[in-house]
Amino acid sequence: MTGNVRGTAGPTVVVTGASGRTGSRVARAAAAAGLGVRAASRATGFDWADPATWADTLRGADAAYLVHPADVGAPGTAETVGELARRAVGLGARRLVLLSARGEDQALPTEEALRASGADWTVVRSAWFAQNFSEGPLVAELRERGELVFPAGEVPEPFVDLRDVADVVVAALADAERYAGRVLTVTGPRLLTFGEAVGEIAAATGRRLTYRSVPAEDYGEALRGFGVPPEEAAFLTEVFAGLLDGRNAHVENGVREILGREPRDFTAFVQEEASAGTWKPA
């Protein structure tokens, strides 16, 4: 069974990963925009790894937001997304919006699989999430150890607030005439190195927090030491080496173009999370 949350009498949108970082925000933004939201996650009976669960979730929907639980460029993701997209089209949910990663070469086959499905597709390519510092594995390092170890060197990144990503996704879902067949790229408003980002968190929390860069290969070894399977660790090492080689060290105006406003700034995000105690040690 899937859960439906209605805003008004708007179209029904399936939101995959509805309990996750991006899906939960897309679901809230879609409901606020008056779309009918059908939450899709394992809690509601939907499982990306089990195609038998897809039809009940997709049937009767008008559109869907697709975010794969593995990286968008991970082995097998293109085949899975392509198959789900084809089934969605066959069940009447032709309007599909895929979350992808800006500058990730490994994601291109997944994007192409979506295009080939016959859907009215849109790809949203996102910069690195600001919320990667407040949710997920990196936050524990900062909160408990006071140090972030990551293979980013001094390469700057325009960190984007996930609320902006969600608003762009909802705009794309709601306006097929304008956004179908397009790739939308979203970033934050300015460039920051990972060290500068950690410095802003330190200033907001009053804590001594540090950033230490390591080579991608060393980070892969650390991942394996944490129990990440060797194949996954090798894939992530390859992805990080590409994404953090400087190719993404520029700001794009997707948020302004699509939403008609400036993207949220990293400093505002940090202040909100610091006030909420996100980086306060347990």
In a domain, 68, yes or no: yes
Average pLDDT, the chain: 94
Instruction: Name the token pair of 37.
Output: 């939201």
User: Does residue 6 register a pLDDT over 70?
Assistant: no
In a domain, 278, yes or no: no
Q: What is the mean pLDDT of residues 102-114?
A: 97
In a domain, 167, yes or no: yes
Chain position carrying tokens 């809690």? 43
pLDDT band for 125, please (50, 70, 90 cuts). very high
The pTM score is 0.94
Q: What is the mean pLDDT of residues 118-134?
A: 97
> How many domains does the chain fold into?
1
Share of the chain above pLDDT 90, in %: 85
Euclidean distance between CA atoms 216 and 35, whole angstroms:
42
pLDDT band for 95, please (50, 70, 90 cuts). very high
Q: How far is CA 206 from the centre of its chain?
A: 29
In a domain, 154, yes or no: no
> Between these two residues, 242 and 269, which has the higher pLDDT value?
269
In a domain, 48, yes or no: yes
User: Does residue 4 register a pLDDT over 60?
Assistant: no
In a domain, 282, yes or no: no
pLDDT digits (tens, 9 = 90+) for 148-162: 999 999 999 999 999
Residue 157 bridge partners (DSSP): 192
Angle at 47 between CA 41 and CA 49, to 5 degrees: 145
pLDDT digits (tens, 9 = 90+) for 39-62: 999 999 999 999 999 999 999 999
In a domain, 226, yes or no: no
User: Does residue 3 register a pLDDT over 50?
Assistant: no
What is residue 9's predicted lDDT score, i.e. its pLDDT?
Answer: 54
pLDDT digits (tens, 9 = 90+) for 217-260: 888 888 888 788 888 888 988 998 899 999 999 999 999 999 99
Q: Give the domain extent around 110.
A: 3-128+160-187+249-264
User: Does residue 146 register a pLDDT over 90?
Assistant: yes
Euclidean distance between CA atoms 222 and 188, whole angstroms:
29
In a domain, 206, yes or no: no
Euclidean distance between CA atoms 101 and 125, whole angstroms:
5
What is residue 8's predicted lDDT score, i.e. its pLDDT?
Answer: 46
Residue 175 bridge partners (DSSP): none
pLDDT band for 5, please (50, 70, 90 cuts). very low
Q: Radius of gyration of the chain from Cα atoms?
A: 19
CATH number at residue 108: 3.40.50.720
